[in-house]
Structure 1
Amino acid sequence: MARERIDLSEVLQRYKARVIQITPLDDCYLLETNRGPKELRLWPRVDIMRWSFAWREQMVRQGFREVERFIRTRDAKPFLVFGKRGFTLTDHLRQKDPYAPTAENAKQSGRVVARMHLAQQANSLFQGVDFLKQEQLNAASEAKRARAMVEDFGDCDQKTAGLFAPLLERMERSAQLLSSRWVDPEQLAVSHRSLHRDNWGLVDDKLFLHGFYRPALSVQQRDVACYLRELFLHQENMDLVTAFLDGYEELKPLHYGDYTLILAFMAYPEELWKSLERYFSLMNEQGEGSTEEIEQAIARQQLVDCLLRHVAHRAEHARSGAAYEPI
């Protein structure tokens, strides 16, 4: 977290806890208090802070309590606003155990994410279609930039430049899927731009959802795509992917348009594109560059391709009476 001169005294005196020590961390301030350790966070966007509070409380009202909640102030406010910045206080969980992605945990995490998405869907502060349009623009822009790089460097390194054809194919296919006619803009809802393994922990042997304090949002299908991609790359176990989706669909069925967007985000070859971009930047500046990072990205992309085929096969079962048009 970027450090700026902030007088926290006015913020802290609004809470009941008496602060003994303050330790700045990367993304928050760790507070030692007479009521146990707490985490104080600064939100640069108050609207996202309000939205975040709303979905957390909605989950609690639905009966799910294993989620980080904002501690209320002396006058029962869930957050504070000073100028254009917001502040929240949460418990610091020292007894949080690492999340082990077993099949049962994967299925339960799918249920929890579905609950979170339903809670976020109940809030109309942000419109999903606006974020999809931004994703479409970004995908088209990056594909255009990659094609320009092919033209600039295509003759200087034939072996590496040959990787651009499949790269561009994936980037352009991702952009096409983001604009698919199967996607219903009216059904889109907003969530975080990414969901990761470190958003999970075990507290008292129960799956606990935490984090989501960085103000970056997108459509909910990106959440699912990001998490399944990371889960499969880390575990290389397709059963965990199936279990997550089974759990998710118990509460929030995925339609063909949902799967189309999930595949669009999965298909985008982000690691390969970044590694090629860095390689050609070094070639341009120094006249040489290592291909080791590119080779690692290719190996990971091959795993992602397996995941894509698995999810695409599942997507076909989600169609109901639609004419055949393979993803």
Structure 2
Amino acid sequence: MNVHTLLQAVHQHYHFHTYHSVATSYGLEIQTNCGPKQVMLWKEKSVLMWSFLWSEELVQMGSRYANRMIRTRDGAPYVQVNEHWITVTDLLEGTKWRPQEDSGPFGQWVGQLYRCFFRVTDTVNQQHWHKALDQQLEHPTELYNEEDLKKKIITMSPSDAFTSLVKPHWPQIEKRWRSALTLLQQSQVPSLYSVKSLTCDQFIKDGYERIHWQPGAWRMTKGFEGVAHLLCELIQADTEGIDRAKTFYLSFEQSYSPKMGEQTQILGHVIYPQSFLDIAKKYVYADIDVDQACQRWLERCDHQENIDLFQQWLAKRIDSLRGDAMSV
């Protein structure tokens, strides 16, 4: 859908006037007489309704930080334009959340977000929207054919710099891959609808130190892969990253109270060597050159020790909680 059509729909259905617009990957950012707005273009109504429900649920839970969909002149939260739908929300102003900031309140807020996801999942099932929504999901993790990728790397020229760099590390990559798959299979995929990836820069801190989620476009999945992504980002930020990740997780626990299987799934996603496999896959399929691949691989190796230390801490915590549960 082109910019002109989007702007026409906004002008027709909303009460404000637009005087500047910029196209984005998810729609538009517009300047209006009522402040900056974000126009989202939706191809699937099921995903739109899921988004509407969790933002309204956040309000029902008493949060003042929900960025609700702005109602049209007719009071609707969205507008249908041909075979698509559009929504408008405030474009939040502030600074992007940095991994070096206080992770305690951040963990509490993300836990609250997942409580909304949990409650909305019940609504989705009761309203029988789950079949339509399930068709839009991505698998909770991209389970590469590790053996196939391994063969492609091994059959490359021995003089290839990336191949020489990767081969000594591959047994550990394979070990992590198998350990993660075992944990993910044991945990069983929860029915909770969520987002595949959460990153710190999706969160905005306003002038009152309040945290808001402004993700733009996202990919949907089931489970807790997004939490694991945030944990890994915090760990890799600097030398204090492990402590901040622990604080984040403990605060998340207090706010959401994940079940044992859900915690096991988070651990599986933390262990899963996604970044290493991403780099190898991009190199094998010539999406990056050898210098880029080697540099990214070495940078990832620098962070792996801290991720290993965190996953050991998390595994011990899960075992401790399991022991406490069995003794009750």
Asked if Structure 1 and Structure 2 have the same fold, meaning a TM-score greater than 0.5 normalized by the shorter chain, the answer is yes
CA distance in 1, matches of 2:18, 2:165: 60
Checking the alignment, whether the CA contact within 8 Å between 2:223 and 2:262 is kept in structure 1 is no
Residues 1:177 and 1:153: Cα distance change in structure 2 (over 3 Å): farther
Q: Which residue of 2 aligns with 1:42?
A: 41
Q: State yes or no: 1:115 paired with 2:112.
A: yes
Deviation at 1:240, TM superposition (A): 1.4
Deviation at 1:288, TM superposition (A): 9.1
Helix, strand or coil: the match of 2:29?
A: strand
CA distance in 2, matches of 1:250, 1:272: 32
Residue-by-residue CA offset, 1:263-317 (whole Å, 9 max, x unaligned): 111112122223233444559x999986333222221223322221222222222
Q: Which residue of 2 aligns with 1:162?
A: 168
Deviation at 1:205, TM superposition (A): 2.0
Q: State yes or no: 1:134 paired with 2:139.
A: yes
Q: Unpaired segments of 5 or more residues in structure 2?
A: 125-129
Residue-by-residue CA offset, 1:116-139 (whole Å, 9 max, x unaligned): 111111223348999999336x41
Q: Which residue of 2 aligns with 1:7?
A: 5
CA distance in 1, matches of 2:136, 2:227: 15
Helix, strand or coil: the match of 1:235?
A: coil
Q: Which amino acid is 1:163 matched to?
A: H
Same amino acid, percent of matched pairs: 20
Residues 1:63 and 1:301: Cα distance change in structure 2 (over 3 Å): same
Q: Which amino acid is 2:303 matched to?
A: R
CA distance in 2, matches of 1:224, 1:292: 26
| Match of residue 227, structure 1, among 217, 227, 230 | 230
CA distance in 1, matches of 2:235, 2:47: 30
Checking the alignment, whether the CA contact within 8 Å between 2:137 and 2:220 is kept in structure 1 is no
Q: Which residue of 2 aligns with 1:29?
A: 28
Deviation at 1:201, TM superposition (A): 2.1
Q: TM-score, normalised by structure 2?
A: 0.83
CA distance in 1, matches of 2:225, 2:292: 32
Residue-by-residue CA offset, 1:156-195 (whole Å, 9 max, x unaligned): 6555322222222222222221101xx255x531111111
Q: State yes or no: 1:266 paired with 2:270.
A: yes
Helix, strand or coil: the match of 2:89?
A: strand
Residues 1:286 and 1:195: Cα distance change in structure 2 (over 3 Å): closer
Residues 1:133 and 1:80: Cα distance change in structure 2 (over 3 Å): closer
Q: State yes or no: 1:189 paired with 2:192.
A: yes
Q: Which amino acid is 2:18 matched to?
A: V
Matches within 5 A, 1:149-298: 149-153=152-156, 157-158=163-164, 160-180=166-186, 183-185=187-189, 187-237=190-240, 238-281=242-285, 291-298=294-301
RMSD between superposed Cα atoms in Å: 3.2
Residues 1:322 and 1:10: Cα distance change in structure 2 (over 3 Å): closer
Q: Which amino acid is 2:5 matched to?
A: D
Q: After the TM superposition, which of the residue ranges 204-213 and 254-263 deviates more from structure 2?
A: 204-213
Q: Unpaired segments of 5 or more residues in structure 1?
A: none
Q: Which residue of 1 aligns with 2:127?
A: none
Q: Which amino acid is 1:319 matched to?
A: R
Checking the alignment, whether the CA contact within 8 Å between 1:67 and 1:208 is kept in structure 2 is no
CA distance in 1, matches of 2:36, 2:59: 22
Q: Which amino acid is 1:306 matched to?
A: L
Q: Which residue of 1 aligns with 2:79?
A: 80
Q: After the TM superposition, which of the residue ranges 121-130 and 247-256 deviates more from structure 2?
A: 121-130
